[in-house]
Amino acid sequence: MTDALLANIVWHSLAGPHAPYACGTQSARRYARGFSPVMAFANPERADFSAVEPFCDVGEHLYCAAWSGPAPSGWRIDVDSMGHQMVWEGGVPAIDPGLCAVRLGAGHVPQMLQLTALTKPGPFAERTVELGEYYGVFEGERLISMAGERFHAGTLREISGVCTHPDFQGRGLARRLVEMLLRIELARGEAPFLHVMADNHLARRVYERMGFRRIQDCVVRVLSRT
């Protein structure tokens, strides 16, 4: 069951726990405007673009995983890349008393958007913070590192939005925030997983050393209506 969910995790999230944040039909859905611009299909091998088209603006860029067919009429593939899906196989990370992390919420959205615009950890929008728990580290009023949760189906919970300001990289902040989320999710009885772009070799090695295992590659595309 877990493997089946992971194979099309975005759809199972949009049609499952995150249905209140989604719009679309029984064959194609996307996160509503204001959330991460991500869409998915119930059957990626027979992607029903006509079903999701009314919910997408012309020129709007939407991320899509699991689908690898040719672009249908009226759509354009803007980015065609690959990512790795990784699942947690380690134990419960030790408590980190030295990590001064803050639970992030609506009041922190401007700082979160500024950090993600700079570091580009993946699609992030003003309401993405509502999809799970997000935590961050500050220096004064500046958010310098954060990590949170996004896709969710069954017991699976994705760790996402992991990023650190370039001026503060090399201190292990992102890793420590990920370990914090791992402790939270494992205490809930959930199965943590994450995605990393295939060309981000450094991040993949870090996650592997932590205890994540790469289980499959996945197509990651950005599309837009023409």
In sequence order, the β-bridge partners of residue 217 are 84
pTM summary value: 0.95
Position 2 confidence tier, pLDDT thresholds 50, 70, 90: confident
| Residue 222 domain flag | no
Q: With beta carbons less than 8 A apart as the criterion, state whether 156 and 198 touch.
A: no
Q: Mean per-residue pLDDT for 183-197?
A: 98
pLDDT higher than 80, residue 1: no
Q: With beta carbons less than 8 A apart as the criterion, state whether 174 and 101 touch.
A: no
| Residue 22 domain flag | yes
Per-position b or e across 22-55, b if 16+ CB within 10 A of its CB = bbbeebbbbbbeebbbbbbbbebeebbbebbeeb
Query: What pLDDT is stored for residue 3 in this prediction?
Result: 86
Query: What pLDDT is stored for residue 204 in this prediction?
Result: 95
Helix (H) or strand (E) holding 135: strand 134-139
pLDDT in tens, 16-43: 999 999 999 999 999 999 999 999 999 9
User: Where does a domain end: 55, 82, 109?
Assistant: 82
Position 178 confidence tier, pLDDT thresholds 50, 70, 90: very high
Query: What pLDDT is stored for residue 218 in this prediction?
Result: 93
**CA-based angle 161:45:123, to the nearest 5?**
15
pLDDT higher than 70, residue 8: yes
Do 102 and 188 reside in the same domain of the chain? Answer: yes
Report how far residue 15's alpha carbon sits from residue 6's, in angstroms, rounded to the nearest whole number. Answer: 14
Do 74 and 26 reside in the same domain of the chain? Answer: yes
pLDDT in tens, 47-99: 999 999 999 999 999 999 899 989 999 999 999 999 999 999 999 999 999 99
Query: What pLDDT is stored for residue 13 in this prediction?
Result: 98
Q: HSE, CB side, 13 Å, CA atoms: give it for residue 173.
A: 23
pLDDT in tens, 92-143: 999 999 999 999 999 999 999 999 999 999 999 999 999 999 999 999 999 9
Overall domain count for the chain: 2
Domain span at 56: 2-82
3-state secondary structure of 97: coil
